[in-house]
């Protein structure tokens, strides 16, 4: 098993726990700091760097994942980059969009350090969606 496979296996192993912690507002009392801590750990392990543009920020965000194929960039518009999260999420088809947004605290924490904003445009939790769509925008100075 190479390092990328190990990284992907480790990433996927946390999905059940993070889903449970973010599923309800009550459990998210623990879930939010846990997701932010995971984001901080990822930033440290992957040696994330602050970036200046939306595209650079999106590429740095991609680098935090086991594979860029999991989170491809799909569109670039001025100061906003759109990407998909294609890895299967426990929220897929559940209707719990709020839980999905709570789980994405992981990504928001990373983007704080990288220097961009992170917005969920479309969630796998919504009926019929097989991936999430996110927008990464440059922060204004």
- The CATH fold assigned to 3-138 is Muramoyl-pentapeptide Carboxypeptidase; domain 2 (3.30.1380)
Q: How far apart are CA 135 and CA 27, in angstroms?
A: 27
Q: What is the mean pLDDT of residues 136-141?
A: 79
> Position of tokens 């390092």?
3
Q: Is the Cβ–Cβ distance between 19 and 99 less than 8 Å?
A: yes
**Range 57-77 average pLDDT:** 95
Tell me the mean pLDDT in the region 60-78: 94
Task: Give residue-wise pLDDT tens across range 97-131.
Answer: 999 999 999 999 999 999 999 999 999 999 999 99
Q: How does pLDDT run across 2-25, given as a tens digit for each residue?
A: 666 666 677 777 888 999 999 999
Q: State residue 141's pLDDT score.
A: 53
pLDDT in tens, 20-42: 999 999 999 999 999 999 999 99
């Amino acid at each position: 098993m190479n390092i990328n496979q190990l990284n992907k296996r480790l990433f996927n192993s946390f999905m059940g726990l993070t889903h449970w912690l973010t599923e309800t507002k009550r459990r998210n009392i623990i879930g939010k700091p846990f997701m932010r801590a995971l984001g901080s750990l990822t930033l440290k392990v992957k040696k994330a760097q602050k970036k200046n543009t939306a595209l650079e920020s999106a590429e740095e965000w991609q680098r935090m994942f086991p594979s860029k194929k999991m989170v491809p960039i799909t569109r670039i518009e001025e100061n906003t980059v759109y990407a998909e999260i294609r890895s299967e999420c426990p929220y897929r088809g559940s209707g719990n969009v709020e839980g999905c947004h709570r789980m994405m605290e992981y990504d928001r924490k990373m983007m704080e350090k990288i220097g961009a904003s992170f917005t969920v445009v479309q969630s796998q939790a919504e009926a019929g969606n097989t991936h999430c769509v996110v927008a990464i925008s440059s922060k204004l100075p």
